[in-house]
Structure 1
Amino acid sequence: MQETPKLSLNAVRVFECAARLGGMLAAAEELGVTPGAVSHQIRALEERIGVSLFRRRNNSIALTDAGRQFQRDVTPALAMIERAAGALYRDRDAVVIRASVSLAVRWLIPALERFKAGAAEARIRLETTHYARVELGGRADIAISYLRRGEDGPGALLFKDVCRPMLAPALLERSRYVRRGDIGRVPALSATAGDWDWRLWAEQAGLGFDALKFSHVFDTDDAAIHAATAGLGMVLATSFMTAKEIAAGSLVHLPDAPAVATGELRLLSAGRASRLARQLADWLREEARRAA
């Protein structure tokens, strides 16, 4: 049985370039080599497979029938190799993170900026969702998922979601709120399905849920926090999501209102995570520890 010749991948790549561009000079310019090097690679390839791939006339070349067939066969194969190499490069220098919109805007994006300051080569892709419970999948390396109090799920603890009512100082003043029993004087802002978080808070605070008076409904925590800052009502939020507003004095804690653990954020890491993804996951855990 005749042995199939072993071909130089570089020679095949040079051939594809010359065939696509229609000339040795153009191929040399794209590949960053001399026209003589291109011609040498193609002649070596022709000798190896025993077939003429080009017809040469003075300073021009044209594909033979065999050359056209070879081009049709090798072009998709070379593209597949390029994609495979690109995937490996992405795995080394890029990280894909999934998180809820509010967490991304409120904590994750500022944290990633600080991470990039010490890892300039990192290329981070952030995928956001309106759902609090986030799953790994596809090409995600890291996911940050929310579990309500009492729920079970995968991942390592990142934050305890300890929430308390917060509102603008001006709203607190004009509401004439003094103590917990005055809760109905301050409009509450809704940002969860069925207000499950407010129901849990009211139970732990020793209040009936009916004591709360709701004014506006929002589809993200971030929007509700902005509304609270504007004086539209009080939001049930955690300190790491409102640190900037608390520091600036645009939000204050409602007096005599306890902090209640409503859930927790978990960090999920893919089993195939790259060195950079593992480094980022460790860094996020340390950031969370400092912010808690």
Structure 2
Amino acid sequence: MRERVHATYWLETGDDPARTAEVIAGEQSSGTFVALAHETPELKDRSGARVERLDILETVSTPSLPGAKRPDVSRAERYTRATLELSWPVENFGPSLPNLWSTVAGNLFELQPVSGLRLTGLTLPPAFTAPFAGPGFGIAGTRTLSGVAEGPLIGTIIKPSIGLSVEETAAQVRELVAGDIDFIKDDELQADGARCPFDERVRAVMRVVNDHADRTGKKAMVAFNLTGDFDQMRRRHDLVLREGGTCVMLVLNSVGLVGVEAFRRHAQLPIHAHRAGWGALTRCPALGFDYAPWQMLWRLAGAD
């Protein structure tokens, strides 16, 4: 596995940016905060992260994030912003999504020289991506099941998010399918609460959806939120499938990469991926993730 994973970052530092880049590369591969006798040149050449590119963008007088340390506090504050590209040999972590995440987005955001760091790009070679099934249906399969061959799918969310009974939920779905809706989804807060239990909700909603489809030929796609422990999710998926449903929903950050990947191996329906919690990872422009590299990991795990 001599192929390499490449990650691109927006970096801000109060230290020399080249030195900070090497600190990040070391921390996320074979190095640590002190020199190690066992980190030989041969080991570092084989397993160390490389600084592939460092392009200086600008300097500013205040840090974007608190807590960063500068090497010379006697000098006026100055923080350099740059585009940083690092690479790692695939053999460091193998084709493993959680271990890739730990590498490209692990203990680097809190490093002392860093006053801002954001993952902006990710390039994954075939040696990493080949073992993953990826989306089971994707765009084409979702369009086939929804009956919308081109143009936008017109969709909505059951609201209020929580508090409706099974009967009230089914009544709202009846109004929506009568209005020729293409896609309906549970809110991420609605899973298996006592007032609207999952099994009862699925049966009631699918009676409405199937009845409308029998009369009109149009079957709305409903994404039922089956987020829970793994055994619950498998059982709930199978119920949706038996009742004639055409979609299920997972809350990604609640289930995790491993949960989505394992569920994808079981799923026979498209997985609607809900990104609840995404704001914590992206709202600050000087920290976290851009959407493109983040969604790449979930697509590999199996989100449609």
For Structure 1 versus Structure 2, the TM-score category normalised by the shorter chain is under 0.3
Question: Taking structure 2 as the reference length, what is the TM-score of the superposition?
Answer: 0.24
Question: Taking structure 1 as the reference length, what is the TM-score of the superposition?
Answer: 0.25
**Which structure has the larger Rg?**
1
